[in-house]
Amino acid sequence: MNSKAAPLRDEFPLLAAAPELRYLDSAATAQIHRSALDAVVRHETTRRANVLRGTYRLAEAADIAYAQARQTAARFLNAGSTDEIIFTSGATASLNLVAHAFGNTLKAGDRVLISLAEHHSNFVPWQMLRERTGIELNFIPVTSGGELDLVALPRLIDARTRLVAVTQCSNVTGAWTDVAAIVAAAREVGARVLLDGAQGVQHGPQDVQALGVDFYAFSGHKCFGPGGVGVLWGRGELLAKLPPFLTGGGMIASVTPQATTWALPPQRFEAGTPPIAQAVGLAAALDWMMTLDWQQIHARESRLCELLIEGLQRIPTLRLLGPAPSAARAPIVSFEISGLHPHDICQVLDAHQLALRGGHHCAQPLLAALGVEACTRASIALYNDESDVLALLDGLTFALKELR
Please list the active-site residues.
Answer: 362
Q: Is the dihedral of CA 116, 122, 125, 129 positive or negative?
A: negative
Give, rounded to a whole angstrom, the gap between the first and last alpha carbons of the chain.
34
Query: Can you tell me the distance from the alpha carbon of 240 to that of 84, in angstroms, rounded to the nearest whole number?
Result: 10
Helices (H), 102-169: 124-133, 153-156
Q: What is the Cα–Cα distance from 9 to 26, expressed in whole angstroms?
A: 13
CB atoms within 10 A of CB 133: 14
Beta strand spans in 185-293 (E): 192-196, 215-219, 230-234, 252-255, 260-262
Burial 172-183 (b: 16+ CB within 10 A, else e): bbbbbbebeebb
The answer to whether the Cα torsion of 309, 311, 314, 318 is positive or negative is negative
Backbone φ and ψ of 274, nearest 5°? -75, 170
Q: Residue 335 in contact with residue 172, Cβ under 8 Å?
A: no
Residue 355, CB-side half-sphere exposure with 13 Å CA sphere: 17
C-alpha span between 365 and 353 (Å, rounded): 31
Order of strands, edge to edge, in the sheet holding 332-337? 318-321, 332-337, 375-379, 357-359
- Answer left, alpha or beta for residue 190, where phi above 0 means left and psi between -120 and 50 means alpha: left
Q: How far apart are CA 232 and CA 98, in angstroms?
A: 9
Residue 327 burial (CB count, 10 A) = 13
Residue 380, CA distances (Å) to 28, 146, 392 in order:
11, 19, 12
